[in-house]
Amino acid sequence: MVQSLNTNVCEERIFSNLFKTLSKDVHNFLRYKYGDNLNPKDKVQEAFIKLWDNCKNVTPEKAKSFLFTTANNMMLNEVKHQKVVLKHQQVKPKDYTNENPEFIMEESEYMKKYQRALGNLTEAQREAFLMNRIEGKKHKEIAEELGISRKGVEKRIYGALEKLRKEIDGI
């Protein structure tokens, strides 16, 4: 039987390693699911503080699911049916742009529609879609992280894409 050398995550070296490898994933996960308006960064901090407080009872293998669950629960405590909003980076008009103002206007319109459409996806669709499109994660990886089947992931992402397209294109 293989037993982990480290039975808990109280050691600073292990703890900081966990933060460096997982914090961004936790952050993105929260953000995709609940949007920007609920301060996912703060929730990541709080989740890691919780992990530290319970470090004696958490093995390094369990840390990831502990963090995701804790962070998710913290968010759920705060979510009061708020509309999910994801901030997108402003499309900066290039200085030497040869794109005309009309084009820039259209782009910014498009992004507004996109943002609204994202907010209208289900949490499950949104998180899977953005993990795939922003982070470039493979379906298999996403399935593992979310603890669902690969088929489920494919369904969610495809569903999200079609829903976005229809809403943005105004079909």
Partner 1 sequence: MKKEILIQKWLDGELNDAELAAFKALPEYASYIKISEKAKLFEDTSYDVEMEYSKLDAIIKERRQKDPPVKTLNWIKPLMRVAAILVVGLAIYYAPLYGDTTTVKTLASNQKTLELPDNSSVKLNAESSIQFKKGNWKNNREVNLVGEAYFKVAKGSQFDVNTWLGKVSVLGTQFNVKQRVNYFEVTCYEGLVSVNYKGKEIKLPAGKSFKVIGNEIVEDETKDSLPSWSSKKMASFKSVPYSEVINEFERQYNTKVETKNVDTNQLFTGSFALNDQELALKAITLPLQLKYNKENKTKIVLTKE
What gap in Å lies between CA 54 and CA 40, rounded to an integer?
21
Cα distance between residue 3 and residue 54, in whole Å: 20
The verdict on 39 binding partner 1 (CB under 8 A) reads: no
Least distance (Å) from partner 1 to the CB of residue 1?
26
Q: Among 14, 36, 60, 72, which residue sits at the site for partner 1 (rule: CB under 8 A)?
A: 36
Closest CA to 118 of 34, 2, 49: 34
CA distances from 70 to 67, 120, 171 (A): 5, 25, 39
Restricted to residues 126-165, the positions that interact with partner 1 (CB under 8 A) are: 129-130, 132-134, 138-139, 154, 157-158, 161, 164-165
The verdict on 56 binding partner 1 (CB under 8 A) reads yes
How many whole angstroms separate alpha carbon 47 and alpha carbon 14?
Answer: 16
Instruction: Report d(CA 111, CA 119) in Å as an integer.
Output: 12
What is d(CA 50, CA 9) in angstroms, rounded to the nearest whole number? 12
With CB under 8 A as the rule, give the number of residues binding partner 1: 44
Q: Is there binding between residue 20 and partner 1 (CB under 8 A)?
A: yes
Q: Which residues form the interface with partner 1 (CB under 8 A)? A: 10, 16, 19-20, 23-24, 27-28, 31, 36, 41, 44-45, 48-49, 52-53, 55-56, 86-89, 91, 110-111, 114-115, 118, 129-130, 132-134, 138-139, 154, 157-158, 161, 164-165, 168-169
